[in-house]
């Protein structure tokens, strides 16, 4: 008897023709898209400039990356949000996600140039603005590191365990070691710019020790 495709089982069918949505085609979105595609995912890449102006850029990443409208990317079962903080609330008000979707919040609420002035708890605000299950992830990782997964730890936080499982699986598949850092409230300071977990490049065991010491 044929074995089921483990990717289909683990990712609830994402590989059966369904893509990951990426909203924002700047440093973070353009780092993520080819990494997701290299791991075998389709990518629906979008930005403010619209699919026609993104098409050439997207096609440079190969056949698995398509340029789409923001509304289409937001309709994917897992969506990475990678736009400036100032855009987030209005964008989420304008574009609903599908039922049961996971929103991977990569944004940081910078309040000026200084990390010490960044707002904490921004993903809790995001969770208020969307119908999706929010997972705070990639926000602590520099775009250059996201572009070249190193097998080291990437923290994520969520209030929805099933959404966290899906993101942990995605992180593993693209080449990072997923580490659950806590609920959105628990990471309000530690995952914010300037926080304990922000910009850390370390092993999963060291990251877990840092997290347990911070609670
Ligand atoms: N850069 C990093 O290393 C890094 C690391 C961790 C987290 N982050 C966070 O990730 C987010 C994105 O950072 P970035 O460095 O990638 O920014 P970026 O290079 O300035 O790119 C921002 C992207 O967002 C798009 N965008 C802006 N407003 C939009 C809207 N209303 N609807 C759809 N798309 C919109 C822009 O579209 P156009 O291209 O069409 O103008 C652009 O593609 C920020 O919140 C940042 O704090 C960044």
Q: What is the pLDDT of residues 95-109, one digit of tens each?
A: 999 999 999 999 999
Closest ligand 1 atom number to CA of residue 107: 45
Q: What percentage of the chain carries pLDDT values higher than 90?
A: 82
pLDDT at 176 over 80: yes
What phi, psi does 80 have (nearest 5°)? -95, 125
Ligand 1 geometric centre to CA of 27 (Å):
7
Span 20-45, mean pLDDT? 96
Query: What spatial distance separates the first Cα and last Cα of the chain, rounded to whole Å?
Result: 48
Distance between Cα 172 and ligand 1 center (Å):
24
Q: Which residues of 194-208 are buried (b: 16+ CB within 10 A; e: fewer)?
A: ebbbbebeeebeebb
Question: Is the pLDDT confidence value at 162 over 60?
Answer: yes
| For the chain, counts of helices (H) and of strands (E) | 9, 8
The angle that helices 27-38 and 161-174 make with each other, rounded to 10 degrees, is: 80
Delineate the domains of the chain, giving CATH numbers in brackets: 6-214 (3.40.50.720)
Please name the residues in contact with 201: beta carbons below 8 A apart, sequence gap of 6 or more.
Answer: 145, 150, 152
Pocket of ligand 1 (CB under 6 A): 23-29, 47-49, 70, 82-85, 87, 91, 106-108, 110, 139, 141-143
Q: Whose CA is nearest to atom 19 of ligand 1?
A: 26
Q: How far apart are CA 112 and CA 77, in angstroms?
A: 33
**pLDDT tier for residue 214 given thresholds of 50, 70 and 90:** confident
Strands 19-23 and 42-46: parallel
In ligand 1, which atom is closest to the CA atom of 143? 3
Give the tens place of pLDDT for each residue, 197-213: 999 999 999 999 999 98
Alpha carbon 169 to its chain centroid, in Å, reads: 12
Reported as a single tens digit per residue, the pLDDT across 121-151 is 899 999 999 999 999 999 999 999 999 999 9
| CA 177 to ligand 1 centroid distance, Å | 24
Model confidence pLDDT, tens digit, residues 7-23 = 333 343 444 455 899 99
Write out the H or E segment, with its range, that includes residue 66.
strand 65-67
Ligand 1 mutation pick, 30, 35, 44, 48, max ligand atoms within 8 A of CB: 48
Encoded tokens for 81: 């949000």
Burial of 3: CB neighbours in 10 Å, binned 0-12, 13-18, 19+: exposed
- Mean of per-residue pLDDT scores for the chain: 89
Pairing state of beta strands 133-137 and 153-158?
antiparallel
For residue range 84-94, what is the model confidence (pLDDT) as tens digits? 999 999 999 99
């Amino acid at each position: 008897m044929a074995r089921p495709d483990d990717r289909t089982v683990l990712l609830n069918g994402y590989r059966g023709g369904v893509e990951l949505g990426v909203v924002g085609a700047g440093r973070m979105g353009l780092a993520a898209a080819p990494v997701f595609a290299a791991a075998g995912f389709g990518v629906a890449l979008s930005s403010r400039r619209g699919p026609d102006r993104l098409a050439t850029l997207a096609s440079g990443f190969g056949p698995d990356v398509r340029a789409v409208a923001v509304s289409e990317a937001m309709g994917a079962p897992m969506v990475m949000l990678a736009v400036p903080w100032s855009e987030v609330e209005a964008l989420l008000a304008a574009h609903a996600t599908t039922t049961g979707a996971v929103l991977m919040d990569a944004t940081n609420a910078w309040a000026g140039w200084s990390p010490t002035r960044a707002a904490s708890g921004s993903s809790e605000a995001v969770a208020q603005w969307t119908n999706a299950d929010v997972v705070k992830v990639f926000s602590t990782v520099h775009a250059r590191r996201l572009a070249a997964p190193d097998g080291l730890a990437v923290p994520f936080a969520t209030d929805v365990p099933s959404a966290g499982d899906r993101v942990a699986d995605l992180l593993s598949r693209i080449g990072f070691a997923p580490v659950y850092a806590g609920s959105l409230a628990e990471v309000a300071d530690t995952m914010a710019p300037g926080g304990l977990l922000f910009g850390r490049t370390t092993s999963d065991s060291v990251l877990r020790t840092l997290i347990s010491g911070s609670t």
